[in-house]
């Protein structure tokens, strides 16, 4: 089996947590692509969140991790991309449910709220928990239908 790829990105509010997590992800056997940022200098989270979420949306990466100060900005950006289900997780329970019920394909962390030890616990649970399918798949199908409808509306309004 080929190794699983994962993309990770952060703004300045998530930079140090991103750096702290990377070696652990590699240790877990993941092939990590870092989409920035590369320092704690202030940047705009849509630039980095959008870059990484775009690669999950197109299927280039099966999963991603995004980190900003609160996790909110990155969540808003990521969930604009079709097919992306980004979940802001502050604890292991939410991380588990975001996989079991929502098949979340992007984990969002709050660099200014979550310490590296807790973040690592969240990441481990998130990576290890499978999607349950069944009634939850029906709900995801409805979200997909909404995405398709919204796409039709925006195509029509461009005519
Ligand atoms: C940056 O100061 C901060 O606004 C950003 O990291 C994030 O928390 C936005 O939602």
pLDDT in tens, 4-27: 999 999 999 999 999 999 999 999
Q: Burial of 151 by CB count in 10 Å (0-12 exposed, 13-18 middle, 19+ buried)?
A: exposed
Task: Indicate the pTM of the whole model.
Answer: 0.96
Which residue's CA is the closest to the ligand 1 atom numbered 5? 69
How does strand 5-10 pair with strand 86-88?
unpaired
- Cα(112) to ligand 1 centroid in Å equals 9
Biggest distance spanned by C-alpha atoms of the chain: 51
List, for residues 138-158, the tens digit of each pLDDT value: 999 999 999 999 999 989 887
Domain definitions of the chain by residue range: 5-133
Two tokens, residue 82:
């079709």
Mean pLDDT of the chain: 97
Q: Which CATH architecture has domain 5-133?
A: 3-Layer(aba) Sandwich (3.40)
Specify the DSSP element, H or E, that contains 88: strand 86-88
């Amino acid at each position: 089996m080929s190794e699983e790829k994962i993309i990770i990105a952060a703004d300045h509010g998530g930079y140090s947590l991103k750096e702290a997590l990377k070696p652990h992800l590699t240790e877990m056997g993941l092939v990590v692509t870092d989409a920035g940022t590369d320092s704690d200098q202030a940047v705009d989270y849509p630039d980095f969140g959008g870059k990484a979420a775009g690669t999950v949306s197109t299927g280039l990466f099966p999963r991603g991790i995004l980190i900003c100060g609160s996790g909110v900005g990155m969540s808003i950006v990521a969930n604009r991309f079709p097919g992306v289900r980004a979940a802001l997780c502050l604890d292991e329970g939410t991380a588990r449910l975001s996989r079991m019920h929502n098949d979340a394909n992007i984990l969002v962390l709050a660099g200014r709220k979550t310490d590296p030890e807790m973040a690592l616990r969240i990441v481990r649970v998130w990576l290890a928990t499978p999607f349950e399918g069944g009634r939850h798949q029906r709900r995801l199908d409805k979200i997909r239908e909404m995405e398709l409808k919204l796409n039709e509306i925006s195509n029509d309004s461009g005519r």
